[in-house]
Amino acid sequence: MAMKQVVMTTEGIKKAEEELELLKTVKRKEITEKIKVARGYGDLSENSEYDEAKNEQAIVEARIAELEAMLKNVRVIDDEDLKSNVVHLGSRLILLDVEEGEEMEIKLVGSAEADPEAGLISDDSPIGKALLGKKASKTKDIAVETPGGTVNFRIVKIL
């Protein structure tokens, strides 16, 4: 089964490649050493250190496979193509939370590199879906249905 195409920014691809390199070069060696040490403790059937190291190995190998598959199917968002007055994937913008009166800078990204705490909002999220294709406006609010209820945003500026 083919993995669906993943849309990422250049920075997102770089982060994924760096994580993959770290997992392959550093983490694999650390886990191999942990397994080697744990084997020295004797009976593997009752060896919690060995079990823990093997579980960690499985998690790391799964993440390596996930990153490799993602990077094989990636489509890069070219920031130069997105200079526009309409919100696109890859757009950076200033959003105003109308109720709270707070402004925040966000970037609309593909789900593979989303990190809401860092201001990277997925295009698949309720906020991301509501913002796509919209223009900045001093008066027009965008109502977004979130799990916590309806939130009204205003696009102050597309950067």
pLDDT tens-digit readout, 91-115: 889 999 988 899 999 999 888 888 9
Structural domains of the chain, ranges and CATH numbers in brackets: 6-77 (1.10.287.180), 79-158 (3.10.50.30)
At 19, the pLDDT band (50, 70, 90 cuts) reads: very high
Structure tokens at 119: 């201001």
- Alpha helical stretches, state H, the chain: 10-22, 28-39, 48-72, 126-131
Please report the sign of the dihedral spanned by the C-alpha atoms of residue 40, residue 44, residue 47, residue 51.
positive
pLDDT at 2 over 60: no
Cα 153 to Cα 102: distance, rounded to the nearest angstrom? 10
pTM: 0.64
- Banded model confidence at residue 82, pLDDT cuts 50, 70, 90: low
- 96 forms bridges with which residues in the sheet? 103, 154
Residue 74 has pLDDT above 70, yes or no: yes
